[in-house]
Structure 1
Amino acid sequence: MSQDVTPFTPAGARHRLVDVPGGRIHLVEQGTGPLVLLVHGFPELWHSWRHQLPALAAAGYRAVAIDVRGYGRSSAPDAVEAYRIGAHVEDNVAVVRALGEETAVIVGHDWGSTIAADSALLRPDVFTAVGLFGVPYTPRGGMRPTDAFAMIGGDEEFYVSHFQQPGRAEAEIEQDVRGWLSGFYATLAGDTKPASGEGAVFFVPKGGKLSDRFVTDRPSWLTDEELDFCAAEFERTGFTGALNRYRTMDRDWEDLAGQDGAPVTQPSLFVAGELDASIAWLADAIKAFPSTLPGLVSSHLLEGCGHWVQQERPDEVNRLLTAWLDSLDGPTTTQGPTRTR
């Protein structure tokens, strides 16, 4: 594929399509050295790692950002079952192999954090270390996920429950893809998120829409040109592939029965924005890191930062990420969470 797919593809990076068992995965790679696989979340693309690709390449790493299956230029199977966690793990392993490598460090954000953690859990022979951004590792537990989410919100519906019925969320989002994306990005960003009641955006009132509580400002870290690109990709693909990740959560729970409560033992990194609502909801998961992430090297909460950490604070994230990667070549010591301005 052409190097000029977008005007903000980092200089020296190139776009490729590689074969995987479920079709093809589109990726953007830059640099040479140990492989670092970057996995985005919802609703994003490889583009969310645009600031990390050149920084990792300059630090001596081969940085590869993928479009997760169902997104962008990667294959988007029709069946909901095609998006269960095992399929994503297989995609990641196949990408590593297609690039001529045996092992990689895997780093994920949002849903990509979960995919990265489970890739490390299920294939420790391939993924030798794992970085988690925004969403902490939560081992498989005793309650079926949709049952747990149905208990949240009282008279309103938690967004994960809202996403379960095929076609329902798509009908809302695809009426105005650019506007919906802009509102979703802005509402979860540190510089534009609501001053109070920010958690309410994740709950849908009866007869309402998720977007009813979005803010209207575009976040400062996303240009109009970049928003246009993201919107154009989702206009072309639709949102079903992206939303199907939510719709396989119960299947994942069944598939991971053999890993109930299992820790991820490889060296790990956790970075999140202190204003990210996920940090409040999943506070117990972070407290459990000594047992669930026994290989944790460092944990960081970025002050004033929202959900989109690697886009909101690229320089700071690049510094933390490259320092952690460099530490993997020598002795590591587990550190408690630190707050960074």
Structure 2
Amino acid sequence: MPPSTPHAAPTATHHLLPTPAGRTHAVQQGHQGPLVLLLHGFPESWYAWRHQLPVLAAAGYRAVAIDVRGYGRSSKPESVDAYRMLDLVADNVAVVEALGERSAVVVGHDWGASIAAVSALTRPDVFRAVGLLSVPYTPPGGPRPSEVFAAMAGEGPGKGTGDGTGDGAGEEFYVSYFQRPGRAEAEIEPDMRGWLAGFYAAVSADTMPAPDAPAPYFVSPGGTLRDRFPAGVLPSWLGERDLDVYAGEFERTGMTGALNRYRNMDRDWADLADRAGAPIAQPSLFIGGERDASLAWLAGALNAFPETLPGLVGSHILDGCGHFVQQERPDGTNRILLDWLASLPT
């Protein structure tokens, strides 16, 4: 059952909480009720949850969205390997403790979904349920990630285009492109606002390139990722003021902290080797966008949910929706989240 009768959402409050990162910036709406911890993806901030925070608070939940380590007002350690998955899990546990709680429901989008999943997998004593948006759970194990991503664009020896999304002629998948420190920063940081606008448009349903256009997830030889972004258009969910918020944060902090998450995928693979194939047993939820390329790349993960997420309560694919589900479809996402949260044991 919901924790209380819905009421007007309280004003958001900002906190800087002590965590292994140094400090974690948290934005809270609702000061009583079960804790719901919200984790954003790339390249965003706590602001990605602006439509969910007041709705969850009005329904009687203590909703808290954080800036993940490396983003916004949270600490940004210098070492690349300080952004490995287990460090981010430790930050999440410390946030729960700093808020005076013993447990939380954790919900994440994009990279936040992966962080939420590993948080639930490795600390089931703290995270009693997990919601995943856009990126389905894939258990640890399997091939080394760097080899998988190289093969997707035909970079690996003897490999073709993987799932056919790269042309195999020297194209580079964006995750591989992000690996070398400084390389992607040199593309992005001279025009942070313009780059972000193009990135958001490239993966949103109403502005993404046509199916027969070059895929915006790949870099041509000698080119940049931005070469394939739509230009001069914003998705309907992103107003100029919203873009100002995102761009303002990255103009202040730079992009390295955010990109360092991608630079730890092989370290995560080694760190979690003892959890290879492990399911998440807690109650879980998945919400994805029908037009999100992530669902095509990870179709096998969706099909494996009966084994990998035995506690799955619901899996929802939103028609005509792209990657940024909780911003593209806030009302639908909120209804699904509230129904799921109400179904959880207290």
Counterpart of 1:146, as a letter, is S
Find the aligned partners of 1:263 and 1:313 in 2 and give their Cα distance. 29
**Residue of structure 1 in register with 2:28 after alignment:** 29
Name the counterpart of 1:325. 341
Give the 5 Å matches for 1:3-22: 12-22=11-21
Partners of 1:197 and 1:184 lie apart in 2 by 18
Amino acid at match of 1:161: S
Aligned to 1:338: none
Give the Cα–Cα distance (whole angstroms) in 2 for the partners of residues 51 and 22 of structure 1.
27
Instruction: Give the aligned partner of residue 187 of structure 1.
Output: 202
Give the TM-score normalised by the residue count of structure 1.
0.93
- How many residues align structurally? 321
User: Does the 8 Å CA contact 1:20/1:95 hold for their aligned counterparts?
Assistant: yes
Q: TM-score scaled by structure 2? A: 0.91
Matches of 2:130 and 2:78 in 1, distance apart?
Answer: 30
What is the rounded CA distance, in whole Å, between the counterparts of 1:82 and 1:166 in structure 2? Answer: 14
Cα distance change on mapping 1:255 and 1:161 into 2, 3 Å: same
Q: Deviations over 1:5-57 (max 9, x none)?
A: xxxxx861111100002200001000121000000000000000000000000
Alpha-carbon distance in structure 2 between the residues aligned to 1:272 and 1:73? 28
Alignment of 1:59-98 (within 5 A): 59-98=59-98
Q: Does 1:206 align with 2:221?
A: yes
1:130 aligns with 2:145: no
Q: How far, CA to CA, are the matches of 2:105 and 2:321 in structure 1?
A: 25
Contact 1:107–1:116, Cα closer than 8 Å, also in 2: yes
Q: SS state of the match for residue 248, structure 1?
A: helix
Match of 1:117 in 2: 117
SS in 1 for 2:64: strand
| 1:223-266, Cα deviation, whole Å (9 max, x unpaired) | 11110111011011000000000000000000001100100110
Tell me how far apart the structure 2 counterparts of residues 286 and 311 of structure 1 sit (CA, whole Å): 22
Matched, 1:171 2:170: no
User: CA RMSD for the aligned pairs?
Assistant: 1.1
Between the aligned residues of both structures, percent identity stands at 67
Q: Tell me by how many angstroms 1:329 deviates.
A: 2.8
Give CA-to-partner distance per residue, 1:136-188, whole Å, 9 cap, x none: 00011221100111111122000000000000000000011000000000110
Contact 1:121 1:263 in 2 (8 A): yes
> 3-state DSSP class of the match of 1:44?
coil
| Alpha-carbon displacement from aligned partner over 1:192-214 (angstroms, at most 9, x marks no partner) | 11221467110100000001110
Q: Which residue is 2:165 aligned to?
A: none
Residues 303 and 47 (structure 1), Cα distance of their counterparts in 2 relative to 1, 3 Å cut: same
Aligned to 1:289: 305
Return structure 1 stretches of 4+ with deviation > 4 angstroms: none
In the TM superposition, 1:128-167 aligns within 5 A as 128-153=128-153, 154=168, 155-167=170-182
Letter in 2 for 1:29: Q
Q: Name stretches of at least 5 consecutive residues in structure 2 with no aligned partner.
A: 1-8, 154-167
SS in 2 for 1:182: helix
Match of 1:307 in 2: 323
Whether the 8 Å CA contact 1:263–1:293 is kept in 2: the answer is yes
Unaligned 5+ residue runs, structure 1? 1-9, 331-341
Where 2:27 maps in the other structure, the secondary structure is strand
